[in-house]
Structure 1
Amino acid sequence: MNIDNDLRRIALQEQQLQFERFDLDTAWKLGVTLRRMAAERKLGCVIDITLFSMQVFYAALDGATPDNPNWVRRKRNTVFRLFKSSYATGLSLLKQQTNLQAKLGLADAEFAAHGGSFPIVVKGTGCIGAVTVSGLPQRDDHNLVVEALAELLGANHDELKLES
C-alpha cells in the first residue's frame, strides 16, 4: 500500500462516484446492492446509509458484532464533518503522523478515521449523507462501498479500485 497512490485514487473515487439525484429509492438500491455483495461473500458486517436528515437503510449480516454500529456512527460522523471518505481522512492523518483529536480536536468516542464511510454527493448540491460499512478490515470496508457505488452508478470499478 502506498499512501499517496491511495489518496489520489480515493480523490478520483470521490470525484467520479457522485449522483445526479439521490432519493429513498436510490438509497434502497445502494443498500440492497451492498447487502447482496456482502452476503454472497459471506462477510459479517453492518451496512448503513444515512442522510443528514435521517437513516434510510440499515442491515446487519451474520458475523456482525455489537461494536459495528458504533464504528458506523463514528466513521459516518467523520464524513459528515469533513465531507470526504473516512479512509481518505485516516490515510491523510497517518501521512501527517497525527490523529483527529490532535489535528481537529475531535474525540475518538465520536469520530473514527478508519475506512468504510463514503460521502453521498449529489452533483451541484454537495454531500447529503454517507454510506458506511463496518465489520471488515478498514480497507475492505472502503473497497466494498466503492464497488457497490461503482456498480450502481455504472462506473468502471477496475479504474477506481485501490491497488492490491
Structure 2
Amino acid sequence: MKQHYALAAIAAALLHLPAAASEPTQKDAIAMAEKGAAFMKANGKEAMMKKITDKDPDFVQGSLYVDMRDINTGIVLAHPINPSIVGKDLTDVPDASGKKYRREIIELAAKKGSGWVDYQYKNPTSGKIEPKTTYILRVGDAVLEAGIYKK
C-alpha cells in the first residue's frame, strides 16, 4: 500500500514540473534581436560584439542566438556558435540549396531595415542541415540576426 502512495506522490510531483523548453518561435527571435539593438544603442557596437562572442545568455539560448555582420562589407563581426567565420565575407557563399542568403540579408537590411530571410543552415542542437528563418535588424552599419529552425 505504501508503494502506491509513493508512486502517486511521484506522479503528482511530475505533473507540476514545468514543461520541457519548447522550440524558439519567431516572436522569440524578434525579441532577441530587438534586445540586442537596444543594448547596442545604449552601449555601442563593440560591447554587443563582446556579448555575442562571450555567449551571453541574453543572446545565446540553445539554437536561438544573435550574430552580427557589417552591412557595407558583409563581413561577420561576431558569431557565438561558429567563431571561425568572424572576420570573413561570406556574402556570396551559398547555403546547401545554392541560395546566397547572406546577400539577401544585406539587401533586405539596407532596403527595409528588418525582415525575414529563409535558408538552410546547420542546427547546433541536431548537427544537421535544416530549414531556418532568420529575423534581421539593421542597427547603424551593423545587421543583427536571430534565427529559428523550422520543423
- Tell me the TM-score normalised to structure 2 length: 0.37
More strand by share: 2
Larger radius of gyration: 2
Higher relative contact order (CA 8 A, sep 6+): 1
More helix by share: 1
- Tell me the TM-score normalised to structure 1 length: 0.35
